């Protein structure tokens, strides 16, 4: 039974990872340029959201095209978003800017400070989406402590489920399915594979 489950899960994970990689960098690059063109005409919360979107696009693009320049650009736009959010007291935008800054600062103590600030904002606003993403990003700071990262992924997934954030659910559940597969805990891995597929379809990632 374990061998059968292992084969099924490996097949599922292959499907989850199978995407037109050659098209993704082009699409991300075009989206970044489109967002940048909008900046001069934006102000207030819309400006902050756009700056955060650009920072996130650079982070996601850097997964496929790793370079110091992409990381620097993500940090630069997140910092701008933070400054603009502070000016207008836009807490939602500030939280996501702090997350991105914390992520780009790697494992420095200042990185954890910014992510914890985002968590504090999420708690004060009772905002499950903020908390889900903050805990997911916080997990990247404990990559050597598998128990800690697994606990944070589960915590993030719970918040994503409460928020109805299918994109977040997909990411957190996929990380958990891969972790349990690596530990040969096939029953748990299969459960999270199913969660990944269900959430991804609701999000509209039908190619998964």
Alpha carbon distance 36, 145 (integer Å)? 38
pLDDT at 52: 97
Taking each helix axis from N to C terminus, what angle separates 166-182 and 2-17, rounded to the nearest 10 degrees? 140
- pLDDT at position 62 is 80
Which candidate, 182, 187, 192, 107, places its Cα nearest to that of 142?
Answer: 107
Q: What is the pLDDT of residue 206?
A: 57
- Nearest to 128, CA basis, from 105, 94, 106, 158: 158
Mean pLDDT by runs of 10 across the 208 residues of the chain is: 54 50 51 90 96 93 82 95 98 98 89 96 98 96 90 97 95 94 91 92 71
> Cα(5)–Cα(10) distance, rounded to whole angstroms?
9
**Rounded to the nearest 10 degrees, what angle do helices 44-64 and 24-38 cross at?**
160
**Which pTM does this prediction carry?**
0.84
Length of the chain: 208
């Amino acid at each position: 039974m374990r061998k059968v489950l292992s084969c099924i899960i490996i097949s599922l994970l292959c499907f989850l990872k199978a995407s037109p990689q050659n098209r993704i960098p082009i699409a991300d690059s075009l989206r970044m340029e489109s967002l940048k063109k909008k900046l001069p005409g934006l102000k207030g919360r819309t400006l902050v959201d756009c700056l955060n979107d650009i920072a996130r696009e650079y982070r996601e693009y850097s997964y496929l095209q790793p370079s110091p320049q992409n990381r620097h650009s993500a940090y630069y736009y997140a910092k701008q978003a933070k400054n603009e959010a502070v000016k207008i007291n836009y807490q939602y935008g500030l939280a996501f800017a702090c997350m991105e800054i914390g992520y780009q600062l790697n494992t420095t103590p200042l990185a954890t400070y910014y992510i914890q600030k985002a968590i504090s904002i999420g708690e004060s606003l009772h905002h499950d989406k903020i908390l889900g993403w903050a805990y997911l990003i916080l997990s990247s700071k404990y990559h050597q402590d598998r128990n800690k990262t697994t606990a944070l992924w589960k915590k993030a997934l719970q918040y994503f489920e409460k928020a109805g954030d299918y994109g977040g659910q997909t990411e957190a559940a996929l990380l958990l399915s891969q972790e349990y597969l690596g530990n040969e805990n096939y029953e748990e891995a299969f459960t999270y594979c199913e969660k990944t597929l269900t959430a991804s379809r609701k999000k509209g990632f039908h190619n998964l």
